Amino acid sequence: MKILSLGAAGFIGSHLTQRLLTEGHTVTAVDIESEKVADYLDHPGLTFLRQDIRGPEWDLDRLVEDCDLVIDLIAYANPGLYLRIPLDVFQLNFIENLKIAEACVRHEKRLIQFSTCEVYGRTAASLKNARVADPRDPIHATFNEDTSEYILGPVAKHRWIYSCAKQLLERVLHAYGLERGFNYTIIRPFNFIGPKIDFLPQNKQDIPRVFSFFMNALLTGTPMKLVNGGTNQRCYTYIDDAVECTYRIVENRGGVCDRQIFNIGSPHNEVSIGELAETMREIYIQKFRDPEVPLPEIVSVPGEEFYGEGYDDSDRRIPDIAKARTLLGWEPVWNIRDTLETTMRYYVAECRKTETAGAVRNG
C-alpha cells in the first residue's frame, strides 16, 4: 500500500512509520523535522519530505492523489501551547487539517485522522451539579466513542481550544461521510507514552508533557511539580500497544473501520499524576539512579502558576475500548510499571550518551 503519512516524524508518527515500513508498505512521510526517523531515512520504502504544511509551496493534492491511504498526525498536542498560542493551535489543528481532509474528499482517498481524548472534556464527576451515585465509580469517567457527552470548560479557560478544534474537525469529517460518502477513521489516543515521546525541558524552552517533565526532574535533580496537587488521573498506554491497534486500523480488514471512531488506550493503567511521580522516582532509584545527582522532591504548584492563565483540566479520563476489542481483536498488554520503566530506560540512555559525547568533545 502507498501511504501518505503527515506528521510522520513525531512521537507517534515515528513509531508508526517504522511499523509500516517493516510490514512492506511504501511511505511518503511529511514533517518539519527528521530526527526521530533518522534510522529509516535510507530505507528504500521511505520518501521523506521536510515540509511545514502551512507553507504555500507543497503540492498537497498531488501527494494525496498519488497514495492509497492518508494518515494525518499533524497537531499541536501540548497543554503548554494551548495556553500560550491558542490561535496557532486552532489554525493548525482545525484549519490546516481541514485542508488535508478536503483533499482526501476530492480525490476519494481514505483518511485516518488522529484526534484526541481531549474531545471528551471534563468527566461527569468533576461537575458540581452532576447526578452520579458515587463520583469515585469508574463508570462515570469512562468515555465511549459513540455515546459520551462532551462537556468543556468556559471560554475564558482557553486551554479547551485544542479540544474544540479537534472536535470540530471530527464533526466535519462525519458530515462529509454523510453527504459525500467519504471514508475516514478517527483515532482518539489516551495518553500514549514511550521512547521519543517528547523533548526534555533542559533541551528546549517550553513545557513538555508530564512524563518528560518528571523524567527531566529525575535526571537533573530539580523538583517534580504536581499541578494542583497531582490528583488528576490518567490511563497511560505504551506506544507498542498503540501502534498495534493503529496498524489494525490501517489494514481495515473487512472494512470494519470505515467511518468509525476508535478509542486507543489502556483502561487498567490508570494512575494519578502524584502516583506517576512517585512510581517514576521509585523506578529511578531502583534501576537508574546517578549518585551524583540529588533525588528531586515532589512538590505541588497551582495550575495557573505552572501553565499560565486560562488553565483547566479534567479529573479522570478512562477509555471504553470495547469497539477496538470487538472489531479489531485488540487488547493492550503493557502494564503501567513496565511502560514507565521501558520509557525511562530510553531517556536515561539518551542522556548518558549525550553526556559522554560532550565529555569527548571537551576532552
- The set of catalytic residues is 162
Do 211 and 193 contact (CB within 8 A), yes or no? yes
* C-alpha–C-alpha distance, residues 230 and 349, integer Å: 27
Angstrom distance (rounded) from CA 241 to CA 286? 25
Q: How far apart are CA 145 and CA 174, in angstroms?
A: 13
Q: 284 Cβ partners below 8 Å, 6+ apart?
A: 218, 344
**C-alpha closest to that of 285 among 354, 224, 195, 203:** 224
Beta bridge partners, 46, equal 27
Instruction: Report long-range pairs for 92-98 (Cβ below 8 Å, ≥24 apart).
Output: 92/54, 93/162, 93/165, 93/166, 93/169, 94/165, 94/166, 94/168, 94/169, 96/53, 96/54, 97/72, 97/169, 98/169, 98/172
Helix (H) or strand (E) holding 118: none
Residues in the chain: 363
HSE (side-chain half, CA atoms, 13 Å) at 23: 17
